[in-house]
Amino acid sequence: MAMAVTMEVGNDGVAVISISNPPLNIINAAMLAALKEKFGEATRRRDVKAIVLTGKGGRFSGGFDINAFQNPSGDTSDRTIESIDLVLNTIEDCKKPVVAAIEGLALGGGLELAMGCHARIAAPKTQLGLPELTLGVIPGLGGTQSLPKLVGVSKAIEMMLFSKLIMSEEGKLLGLIDEIATSEELVRVSRLHALEISDGCKPWVRSLHRTDKIGSLSEAQQLLRTAREQAKRTAPNMPQHLACLDAVEEGLLHGGYKGLLKEAAVSKELVQSNTTKALTHLFFAQRATAKVPNITDVGLKPNNVKKVGIIGGGIMGSGIATSLMLSNITVFLKEINSEYLLKGMKTVEGGYYIDTLRAPFVNIVL
The pTM for the full model equals 0.81
> Is 99's pLDDT higher than 60?
yes
Within 10 angstroms of residue 178's Cβ, the number of other Cβ atoms is 21
pLDDT for the residue 82: 66
**Considering the chain, what percentage of its residues have pLDDT values greater than 90?**
66
Mean of all residue pLDDT scores within the chain: 89
Confidence of residue 292 (pLDDT cuts 50, 70, 90): confident
For the annotated catalytic residues, the residue numbers are 112, 132
Average pLDDT over residues 268-282: 91
pLDDT for the residue 363: 45
> Is 183's pLDDT higher than 50?
yes
pLDDT for the residue 296: 78
> Is 105's pLDDT higher than 90?
yes
> Is 85's pLDDT higher than 90?
no
pLDDT for the residue 323: 87
Average pLDDT over residues 17-39: 94
> Is 71's pLDDT higher than 80?
no
pLDDT for the residue 43: 96
> Is 350's pLDDT higher than 90?
no
> Is 354's pLDDT higher than 60?
no
Residue that wins the pLDDT comparison between 172 and 338: 172
How far is 32 from 115, CA to CA, in rounded Å? 15
pLDDT for the residue 73: 54
Residue 331 CA, chain-centre distance (Å), reads 40
Give the type of residue at 323. S
> Is 129's pLDDT higher than 90?
yes
Domains of the chain: 4-274 (3.90.226.10), 307-358 (no CATH)
